[in-house]
Amino acid sequence: MEDLDTRFMLQAIHLAKKAWYSTDPNPRVGCVITQNNKIIGQGFHIQAGGPHAEVHAINAAKDAGYDLEGSSAYVTLEPCSHHGKTPPCCDALIKHKIKRVIIAMSDPNPLVSGQGIQRLKEAGIDIKVGVLEQEAKNLNPEFIYKMIHSRPFLRCKMGMSLDGRTAMASGESQWITSTEARLDVQRLRAQSSAILTGIGTVLADNPSMNVREETYISLADNKIRQPERLILDSQLRIPLDAKILASPELATIFTTSQQLFNDKSIQLRDKGVRIISLNEVESALDLKQLMEELSSMPLNSILIESGKTLAGSFLEEGFINELIIYMAPKILGNEARGLFDLPNLQFLKDAPQLKIKDIRQVGVDIRLTAKLK
């Protein structure tokens, strides 16, 4: 029984991974339904707004002509008991007279954790929780972070030379890192809820900040789920034709209240861009207030792709959870531009400390992943 439970849960986890790049801001969830120890239906959540994994699995079993009464359901995450964009999965499991539900992990949101389990128990269903729990947690690290901490997981990506430089003194910076590193950044973007950058980067490089690789096409609609684009632009200097505004419905600009009703602001809003005002602190946007705004948005993870000033400010505020550095095997020297402006750091003991989580070769470059302590 134990071995079968593990085997079926492993299959549910495999299923959940199939939608790795498309469920955001929802979690990745897989479900397997068995009868007499044979799989009769399986499914996984593909995209926010679409059916949950349990419903896909139930429908698959019904479509194959099975009566679900007395069967077992394996789910990688506690079934929901609340009405969201779709009806609660608990109701569907109860309605189809499932006899036993095996759950890898309970809901990470402390406010609703255990409510689904409780509801199923009250309906007389046998419950087992914790099968392959860690594997299930690994499916949704950023979703879980958001649920526990009520704020998005912030990842900062940097490309630099071996001596920590991002561009020549002149600003020349194209192609510091390899094609393989840039492809890897596509993967980071594809699994992020949003990309955050500053107006300096927008004006200097006119980046699209989108996902272009077909690897990341969603199974639901054959489209790539694009991350939101968040732009910090206190003076509203962004050109209306900036590439980052190419999908204006995905763009949010943070600016000061003085800019909120001027012509540029109106033009941007007419395009479909969202404008949010923030207070100013020492002639920069208030990052603490920004974090509150970001926490109220449906974002599990944010990828920061910015210059040294903004990245440095986020680091000094202690907002960055993870740093991903692509190191190109070049030396640019001390005249070249550095990684982080940390104007308030004076003593070595106060320097931000990290823990290296992973380091590997990506093309000719090195990718280093570090967690902020």
Which of 4, 162, 219, 281 is the binder for a second copy (CB under 8 A)? 162
Whether residue 54 lies in the annotated active site: yes
334 binds a second copy per the rule CB under 8 A: yes
The tally of CA atoms less than 13 A away on the side-chain side of residue 81 is 18
Tokens of 96: 């189809």
User: Strand pairing of 322-328 and 153-161?
Assistant: parallel
Nearer to a second copy, 19 or 167 (CB): 167
176 binds a second copy per the rule CB under 8 A: yes
| Contact predicate 207/305, CB 8 Å | yes
Cβ contacts of residue 43 below 8 Å, gap of 6+? 15, 30, 31, 51, 53, 54, 55, 56, 57, 58, 59, 60
204 binds a second copy per the rule CB under 8 A: no
- For residue 149, the minimal CB distance to a second copy (Å) is 22
The tally of CA atoms less than 13 A away on the side-chain side of residue 216 is 22
Per rule CB under 8 A, count of chain residues that contact a second copy: 49
Residue 30 is classified by DSSP as E
Nearer to a second copy, 221 or 350 (CB): 350
Nearer to a second copy, 172 or 270 (CB): 172
341 binds a second copy per the rule CB under 8 A: yes
- For residue 198, the minimal CB distance to a second copy (Å) is 16
Nearer to a second copy, 236 or 328 (CB): 328
- For residue 166, the minimal CB distance to a second copy (Å) is 10
Which of 4, 203, 281, 356 is the binder for a second copy (CB under 8 A)? 356
Residue 258 is classified by DSSP as G
d(CA 66, CA 353): 56
| Helix boundaries (H) for 150-262 | 179-190, 199-205
335 binds a second copy per the rule CB under 8 A: yes
DSSP line for 335-346? TSB-S---TT--
318 binds a second copy per the rule CB under 8 A: no
Nearer to a second copy, 38 or 349 (CB): 349
Specify the stretch interacting with a second copy by CB under 8 A; choose among 238-246, 272-280, 285-293, 333-341: 333-341
d(CA 367, CA 361): 6
| Contact predicate 120/127, CB 8 Å | yes
List the end-to-end C-alpha distance of the chain, in Å, as a whole number.
Answer: 41
- For residue 320, the minimal CB distance to a second copy (Å) is 10
368 binds a second copy per the rule CB under 8 A: yes
Specify the stretch interacting with a second copy by CB under 8 A; choose among 18-26, 234-242, 271-279, 354-362: 354-362
112 binds a second copy per the rule CB under 8 A: no
Buried b (16+ CB within 10 A) or exposed e, 134-155: ebbbebbebbbbbbeeebbbbb
342 binds a second copy per the rule CB under 8 A: yes
d(CA 214, CA 183): 11
Of 2, 54, 69, 142, which is the active-site residue?
A: 54
283 binds a second copy per the rule CB under 8 A: no
Tokens of 68: 């679900």
DSSP line for 273-285? -EEEEE-EETTEE
Beta bridge partners of 43: 31
242 binds a second copy per the rule CB under 8 A: no
219 binds a second copy per the rule CB under 8 A: no
Nearer to a second copy, 83 or 373 (CB): 373
Specify the stretch interacting with a second copy by CB under 8 A; choose among 111-119, 147-155, 282-290, 352-360: 352-360
330 binds a second copy per the rule CB under 8 A: yes
Tokens of 254: 């943070």
- For residue 72, the minimal CB distance to a second copy (Å) is 44
Nearer to a second copy, 196 or 325 (CB): 325
d(CA 99, CA 327): 54
* Residues forming the site for a second copy (CB under 8 A): 160-165, 168, 170, 172-176, 308, 312, 315, 323, 325, 329-343, 345-348, 351-356, 359, 361, 364, 366, 368, 370
Catalytic sites, residue numbers: 54
